[in-house]
Amino acid sequence: LCLSVSSVAQTKKTKLNTEDADADAAQQRTIAISLVTTLADEARSFKDQTRRARVQARAADVLWDSDPERARDLFRRAWEAADTVDTEAAKKRAEEMRRMQSSGEPAVVRGTPSLRSEVLRLAAKRDRKLGEEFLKALDEANDKERAEAATNQRLNNGTTVGASQRLQLARRLVDEPAR
């Protein structure tokens, strides 16, 4: 009888310890979610668009299991910031190419990693439909960038040929004896 009472008391103690541990874990999860949510909200005010996009995308990834709608919204905001960064980077690359071509330097500009691809990877892992939406937008942006690059290439080649022809004419005029 004494062993039986001791066994029941031990079982109750174990249940209480497990319940306490579960309550502590739930409280820690709630605090962690609150911290990540606060960080994501603060990321809206980041001036550095790259950091903004990365923080929001990673926060969305972390929050997905507890709040998919909020996470989806964060993924969209991260996409917008990443789009801004990638668009600016493409403009800078194009300007650098034009500068190099106009100065006669070999036009070699290294590409930068696509921030939109980072956001796409995280979003597609969580929401296939959202990933497909982002992929479609990325494809359209890449097509537009390629078309603009081809147009710039045609325009630059035409300018280069025209400038070359003018230089040749000027040389001939200088080299010809005056009549």
Name the H helices within 44-127: 49-63, 68-102, 115-126
Cβ 82 vs Cβ 60: under 8 Å: no
- Report the sign of the C-alpha dihedral through residues 110, 115, 118, 123, in that order: negative
The predicted pLDDT at position 60 comes to 97
- Report the sign of the C-alpha dihedral through residues 16, 19, 25, 27, in that order: negative
Task: Write out the two tokens for 74.
Answer: 């964060």
**pLDDT for residue 39 is more than 70:** yes
pTM: 0.70
Q: Looking at per-residue confidence, does 16 or 47 come out higher? A: 47
Mean pLDDT of 105-112: 64
Question: What's the pLDDT band for 161 if we cut at 50, 70, 90?
Answer: very low
Task: Write out the two tokens for 58.
Answer: 């990673």
- What does each C-alpha distance from 61 to 34, 46, 97, 156, 157 come to in angstroms? 14, 19, 37, 44, 46
The rounded distance, in Å, linking the Cα atoms of 156 and 137 is 28
The predicted pLDDT at position 45 comes to 94
Q: For 10-14, 65-69, 166-170, which range has the lowest pLDDT when averaged over its residues?
A: 166-170
Q: Rounded to 5 degrees, what angle do the CA atoms 81, 84, 85 make?
A: 90
Question: What's the pLDDT band for 110 if we cut at 50, 70, 90?
Answer: low
